[in-house]
Amino acid sequence: MSFLLSSPGTTNLPGVFEKYPERGVLILRLIDDIMRKESPLTDGERELIFTYISGLNDCGFCFHAHAPAAIAFGIDESIFCDMEIKLDTPKIEEKFKPILGYVKKLTLTPTQVTKADVDAIYAAGWNEQAFMDVVGICCVVNFMNRFVNGVGVDVDADTAYKTGASVLPTIGYSGWAESLEKSFA
C-alpha cells in the first residue's frame, strides 16, 4: 500500500520513479555503477547477492524482482525458495559462501563484522575489488529495501517479475535511468 499522499492506490517502483524521475535517475545510476561496472563478480552473482539481502530484509518487491534477473544472468533457479536462498545446495559455489555470510552479517548485525569475516572472502580467492563491490552491493540493497518499504511499494509479483526478468537483463539500470531522464529533459 502506498504511503504517498499523491498516489494512494497500488504503487510499484517504476511508478514511484516515474513520479519522482530525478530521484529515480540518481538512484538507478548509483545502482548501475555498483551492479554493472566491471567486476570480478558476474552480473548473476551480483543479482544473487541483491536477492539474498532482500530476502533477509523481507523486502518482497526487491526479492521477486532480482531473483528473475539473477536467473536471466545464469544463476540456477532451483536455489530460490519463497523469500530465501537455499545456501546448502551445491549450486552455490563454496567460493561464494563467505560473501553471502559477510553480507548477512553486514545487513543484520553490522557492528559485529570482523576482520575474520573479510579474511574469509580473501581466503576464498576473491580480491579487494570484489570485496569493495560486495560492500557496495550490500549498501545499495539495504538502501533500496528501505526505500521500497518506506514508500509503501506493493509486492505485486507481476510487476516485480517484469522488472527483474525483462528490464534489468535488457536495458538495465542505466537504460531505465535514461528513459526517466527523457521525462524531465
What does the alpha-carbon distance between residue 173 and residue 178 come to, in Å, rounded to a whole number?
Answer: 9
What CATH topology corresponds to 42-170? Answer: AhpD-like (1.20.1290)
Q: List pLDDT tens digits, range 141-153.
A: 999 999 999 999 8
Average pLDDT, the chain: 92
Model confidence at 10, pLDDT cuts 50, 70, 90, reads low
CA nearest neighbour of 99 among 77, 80, 81, 119: 119
Nearest 5°: the CA angle 153, 157, 159 is 70
Contact residues for 12 (Cβ-Cβ < 8 A; gap 6+): 61, 153, 154, 156, 159, 160, 163
DSSP helix/strand/coil, 177 = helix
Residue-wise pLDDT for 87-104, tens only, equals: 888 899 999 999 999 999
Selection from 83-87, 127-131, 158-162 with the highest mean pLDDT: 127-131
- Could you report the per-residue pLDDT of 52-91, keeping only the tens digit for each? 999 999 999 899 999 999 999 999 999 998 788 888 888 9
Q: Which of 60, 87, 75 is nearest to 169 (CA)?
A: 75
Q: Where are the domains of the chain?
A: 42-170
Which residues make Cβ contacts (< 8 Å) with residue 120, sequence separation at least 6? 98, 101, 102
**pTM, two decimal places:** 0.94
Residue 64's SS3 state is: helix
146-to-52, 60, 62, 101, 172 alpha-carbon distances in Å: 15, 11, 10, 21, 21
Which 3-state string (H, E, C) describes 133-163?
HHHHHHHHHHHHHHHHHHHCCCCCHHHHHHH
Q: Is the pLDDT of residue 126 over 90?
A: yes
- Of all residues in the chain, the percent with pLDDT exceeding 90 is 71
